């Protein structure tokens, strides 16, 4: 796989397909391989870029001081280096924070955003009815980060798996290779959730963003993720909010055909112009 040598990182990436350029940003507990099924399915209609963020997969670089900003800077430099923009952006979980920061800092690079379940729990603080839930979620996140830093990696991963699912025992149902992958990225997860921008988007970015945005949440995801997605949709000026039936937090893995159809439908319905 190609490696791009950037100013602060070496980034592994893979380009496939044909059509409008599209980049896929993975979340905290994964790497670029998590998009493999989606990348193949989109190949007939989109030219896709999947990559490992710094510290994930085969990408390397120094510890990020501001994870969201640094990840967005890495991506912008990657797109510049390989001359692949403007792009549609598909982002999962924490990746959504990177996508919004990229759109704010380099608007000429971004044509549309598809964001699935951003972890913006601090949006819940703005409504007195949901502020206690925001406090609870923030406290739970800090407790899990403490487990990671105490070396109790599997206990922390189990807590996250259950928090992101409406069903109990999620961790035990994961395939062993998936569990091993998650365990390998727990330190990165703790690092990324320390960044305030990972849980609270910049209000100026939300109010000024005019490009089409699709926000999705899974029908089987916990209610707090639905509330966050709805609140984000209210703050964006050109957003559509949709619930994906029968799936949870990782639809690109659990039901890639549904995810692919949703991406394609969004671009057709919103009539996002071709380059």
Each residue of 142-201: pLDDT tens digit? 999 999 999 999 999 999 998 998 777 789 888 898 899 999 999 999 999 999 999 999
Residue 247 has pLDDT above 50, yes or no: yes
Q: Would the CA dihedral through 153, 157, 160, 166 be positive or negative?
A: negative
Phi/psi-derived region of residue 63, left when phi > 0, alpha when psi is between -120 and 50, beta in every other case: beta
Residue 85 has pLDDT above 90, yes or no: yes
Locate tokens 């925001």: which residue? 134
Q: Write the pLDDT tens digit of every residue in 18-48.
A: 999 999 999 999 999 999 999 999 999 999 9
Of 161, 19, 157, 40, nearest in space to 88 by CA = 19
Report the relative pairing of strands 239-244 and 10-17 from DSSP bridges: unpaired
Q: Which two tokens stand for residue 222?
A: 């916990």
Give residue 173's pLDDT: 87
Number of H helices, E strands in the chain: 12, 8
Locate tokens 């598809």: which residue? 114
pTM: 0.96
Percent of the chain surpassing pLDDT 70: 98
Q: Would the CA dihedral through 40, 44, 46, 49 be positive or negative?
A: positive
| Residue 154 DSSP SS3 | helix
Give me the CATH topology for the region 3-126+200-269: Rossmann fold (3.40.50)
Give residue 268's pLDDT: 86
For residues 106-128, average pLDDT: 96
DSSP class of residue 147 equals H
Of 156, 158, 154, 166, nearest in space to 225 by CA = 166
Q: What is the rounded average pLDDT for all residues in the chain? A: 94
| Residue 64 DSSP SS3 | coil
* CA dist list (Å): 238 to 73, 117, 228: 24, 17, 17
Give residue 275's pLDDT: 44
Residues 6+ apart with CB under 8 A from 131: 124, 125
Residue 94 has pLDDT above 90, yes or no: yes
Locate tokens 């149902």: which residue? 173
Burial of 252 (0-12, 13-18, 19+ CB in 10 A): buried
Phi, psi of 52 (to 5 degrees): -95, 125
Report the relative pairing of strands 46-51 and 87-92 from DSSP bridges: unpaired
Domain boundaries in the chain?
Answer: 3-126+200-269, 131-190
């Amino acid at each position: 796989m190609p490696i791009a040598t950037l100013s602060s990182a070496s980034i592994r990436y893979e380009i496939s397909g044909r059509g409008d350029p599209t980049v896929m940003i993975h979340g905290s507990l994964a790497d670029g391989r998590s998009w493999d099924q989606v990348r193949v399915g989109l190949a007939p209609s989109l030219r896709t870029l999947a990559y490992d963020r710094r510290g994930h997969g085969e990408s390397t670089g120094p510890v990020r001081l501001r994870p969201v900003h640094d990840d967005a800077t890495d991506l912008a430099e990657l797109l510049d280096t390989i001359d692949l923009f403007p792009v549609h952006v598909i982002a999962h979980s924490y990746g959504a924070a990177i996508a919004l920061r990229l759109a704010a800092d380099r608007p000429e690079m971004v044509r549309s955003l598809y964001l699935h379940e951003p972890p913006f729990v601090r949006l819940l603080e703005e409504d007195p009815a949901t502020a206690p839930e925001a406090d609870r979620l923030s406290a739970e996140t800090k407790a899990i980060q403490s487990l990671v830093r105490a070396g109790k990696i599997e206990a922390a991963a189990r807590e996250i798996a259950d928090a992101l699912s409406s069903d109990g025992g999620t961790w035990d149902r994961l395939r062993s290779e998936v569990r091993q992958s998650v365990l390998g990225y727990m330190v990165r997860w703790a690092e990324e959730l320390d960044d305030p921008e990972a849980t609270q988007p910049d209000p100026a970015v939300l109010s000024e963003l005019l490009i089409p945005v699709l926000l999705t949440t899974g029908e089987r995801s916990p209610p707090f993720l639905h509330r966050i997605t709805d609140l984000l949709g209210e703050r964006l000026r050109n957003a559509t909010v949709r619930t994906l039936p029968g799936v949870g937090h990782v639809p690109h893995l659990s039901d890639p055909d549904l995810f692919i159809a949703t991406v394609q439908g969004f671009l057709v319905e919103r009539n996002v112009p071709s380059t």
